[in-house]
Structure 1
Amino acid sequence: MNYRKLTPSMSLLLAFEASARHESFTRAAGELSLTQSAVSRQVQTLEAQLGVALFVREGKRIVATDAGRAYMAEVGTALARIRNATLQVLASDAFSQRLRLATLPTFGAKWLLPRLHQLYRQHPDLQVDLHSRIEEVDFATQPLDAAITVGDGRWPNVIAHRLYAEELVLIGSPQALGQAGKRRRNATRLARPTVAALNGLTLLRVSSFPDAWREWCGHFGLPHHALRLGPSFELTSHLIQAVIAGIGVGLVPRMLVEDELKDGKLCSPFEAVTSSRSYYFIYPERVRNHPALVAFREWLLMAQMGAG
């Protein structure tokens, strides 16, 4: 029995696993900080060592063979266990009080950071490293322990705690929506929008939620294609600034514009609409008992209950 053949090198296994997961040598190379040709050669070396074809090439795309899929099921699990074991070792020593947290940029600036001093008061040795992320978080490939994100709650292979339902409000400058809108922003019974009321306004969008205006119009029974859609923004904070500058009106989560509504920079003449999305705190199973994560999770869920 050739044990060398049965135990390929870690570099070959990492190249194979990343290629199988992405179905692309190019994306695997980006993840592993290698060239595309280097990853391709490593996979070819592994195939030669095993004497089995692991992929078939279809133009620029690669597809795992039956043998490749079976091998990926075992190798992927084994590598995940190795990563988990390494994380546990780190968590047991110097990294036990460090949490690498991804958060949505505007949520982080508007909600999380103003409250974070409360966490540090309770846990003075805790260190939260904040990383801004708009795109979907991949705990298998990114050096992150947890994330605060928004979505429908369906993420594979993660634990998810629902924090808030997303309540969208239409915001505009007092000049754009008129003084009547400014007077109505704190009223208990707000007027329902009409196409006529919105006619001529530029509807600004956040690129990560392209269906926001359709959902909002559907709540009020308005034909959304009758309205004029304007520019889109990657960051909600940029959209808010564009609205304050009078470029148009926008739909944003209420919690992110409370200050601007109170000081009169913005007004919101219509009732809030609950969207199809919610805010969640998510993390992979492997860090469930990480000391820093446990401390942050307990604080976050209590802070969310107090603010909610």
Structure 2
Amino acid sequence: MGRLPLTALEGFLLAARLGNLSRAATQLNLTVSALSHQMRGLEERLGQRLLVRGSRGVSLTAEGERLLEGIALPFAAIERALRQCQVPSDDILTLSLMPSMASSWLLPRLPDFLAAHPELQINLQSNTTLVNFDQEPVDVAIRFGAGQWPGLTAEHLFDEWLTPVASPALIAKLGRTRLRDLSGCPLLGDPGGRWTAWFARFGGTPPTRFVAQFSDSEPLHRAAVEGLGIALGRMTMARPLVDTDRLRLLGKQRLRAEFSHYLVYPPRSEKRQSVRLFRDWLLLQAREYAVTVEPRKAGGRKP
């Protein structure tokens, strides 16, 4: 068969993992056209169709599944060997986090960190999938979860708080609305069905139907900004919109979300100076932010 098509196999492996040619091409510093050409060449070489292109990305054929199963472990072993031989540059910090967390919380604060440490370069990878520290050259991650990831250090940053928010135009249209009467208002269904917990905590009856349902928090908040309905907003995402008066809070009540935000990193990152600097700065930012969003009882004590 001649020389092994290692470049094409690497592209196939990444496309299969991500389920998206565009994202795979970006990580490989290729155009989508170039990566598609590699995939077609690989399929022609093997005489098998490996990928099925669709409107939402790519999926694997049965032959593609078999190829992925055969090459995933060898490529992972090669990546581990290369990382062990490579001395990481301590002036580069690679960070993984969700796009919503990046745009609404971290990016507005990041200039202060870079101004204090101009010698550092931040490589920010924003995606919705959990990074695999064993397979990817990522130093730290900001994750939303229960705080338990085997083999990793997880440091609590802050809790997530939920509260009803709506656009100024919708509030003006609805008039004065008591929180107990929200079930009679146009509500937006949130990921996880948190409205049920809200009504159980603060009273009222959950609605029998929502104006619209959302599986992701980012379009949920965008829909609220457009006046589609009242959202049970996540403060990390709603706060910047409230500060710019694109959304308004309907009251002071807050519901603690099931999960919290954590800084997560593997043992290999602990001794890196860039990681220590970022960790110390991030924990300070988290403490300052938590004070502004966490509800307090009379006397200044948290509930």
Give the TM-score, by structure 1 length. Answer: 0.64
Task: Give the equivalent residue in structure 2 for 1:90.
Answer: 87
Residues 127, 87 of structure 1: alpha-carbon distance in 2 compared, 3 angstrom cutoff:
farther
Give the whole-Å Cα distance in 2 for the aligned partners of 1:229 and 1:203. 6
- What per-residue deviation string (whole Å, max 9, x for no partner) do you get for residues 11-70 of structure 1? 9xxxxxx9xxx9xxx9xxx9xxx9544456679xxxxxxxxxxxxxxxxxxxxxxxxxxx
Task: Give the equivalent residue in structure 2 for 1:51.
Answer: none
- What per-residue deviation string (whole Å, max 9, x for no partner) do you get for residues 80-130 of structure 1? 9x9388357422xxx222111111212211221111111112211111111
Q: Kindly indicate whether the alpha-carbon contact (under 8 Å) linking 1:170 and 1:269 is maintained by their aligned counterparts in 2.
A: yes
Consecutive unaligned residues of structure 2, counting only runs of 5 or more, are 1-5, 7-12, 18-49, 51-58, 291-303
Which of 235, 258, 272 is the equivalent residue of 1:276?
258
Task: Give the equivalent residue in structure 2 for 1:261.
Answer: 242
Q: How does 1:83-162 map to 2 (within 5 A)?
A: 83=80, 86-87=83-84, 89-91=86-88, 95-162=89-156
Give the whole-Å Cα distance in 1 for the aligned partners of 2:85 and 2:261. 28
Give the whole-Å Cα distance in 2 for the aligned partners of 1:203 and 1:83. 45
Give the whole-Å Cα distance in 2 for the aligned partners of 1:114 and 1:132. 15
Q: Kindly indicate whether the alpha-carbon contact (under 8 Å) linking 1:174 and 1:181 is maintained by their aligned counterparts in 2.
A: no
Amino acid at match of 2:155: H
Consecutive unaligned residues of structure 1, counting only runs of 5 or more, are 1-10, 12-17, 44-71, 185-190
Residues 230, 300 of structure 1: alpha-carbon distance in 2 compared, 3 angstrom cutoff:
same
Give the whole-Å Cα distance in 1 for the aligned partners of 2:151 and 2:81. 14
Aligned residue for 2:149, secondary structure, equals: coil
Give the TM-score, by structure 2 length. Answer: 0.64
CA drift at 1:162:
0.7
Which of 179, 183, 193 is the equivalent residue of 1:211?
193
Percentage of pairs with the same residue: 24
Structure number with larger C-alpha Rg:
1
Task: Give the equivalent residue in structure 2 for 1:56.
Answer: none
Task: Give the equivalent residue in structure 2 for 1:230.
Answer: 212
Residues 285, 85 of structure 1: alpha-carbon distance in 2 compared, 3 angstrom cutoff:
farther
The size of the alignment, in residue pairs, is 236
CA drift at 1:234:
3.1
Q: Kindly indicate whether the alpha-carbon contact (under 8 Å) linking 1:145 and 1:284 is maintained by their aligned counterparts in 2.
A: yes
Q: Kindly indicate whether the alpha-carbon contact (under 8 Å) linking 1:105 and 1:235 is maintained by their aligned counterparts in 2.
A: no
Give the whole-Å Cα distance in 1 for the aligned partners of 2:106 and 2:237. 11
Task: Give the equivalent residue in structure 2 for 1:297.
Answer: 279
CA drift at 1:178:
3.6
| Structure with greater contact order relative to length (CA < 8 Å, sep ≥ 6) | 1
The answer to whether 1:177 aligns with 2:171 is yes
Q: Kindly indicate whether the alpha-carbon contact (under 8 Å) linking 2:189 and 2:210 is maintained by their aligned counterparts in 1.
A: no
**Aligned-residue CA RMSD in angstroms?**
3.8
Task: Give the equivalent residue in structure 1 for 2:182.
Answer: 197
Aligned residue for 2:129, secondary structure, equals: coil
Which of 153, 165, 168 is the equivalent residue of 2:162?
168
CA drift at 1:235:
4.9
Residues 256, 243 of structure 1: alpha-carbon distance in 2 compared, 3 angstrom cutoff:
same
Task: Give the equivalent residue in structure 2 for 1:306.
Answer: 288
Residues 210, 84 of structure 1: alpha-carbon distance in 2 compared, 3 angstrom cutoff:
farther
Residues 79, 127 of structure 1: alpha-carbon distance in 2 compared, 3 angstrom cutoff:
same
Give the whole-Å Cα distance in 2 for the aligned partners of 1:246 and 1:98. 42
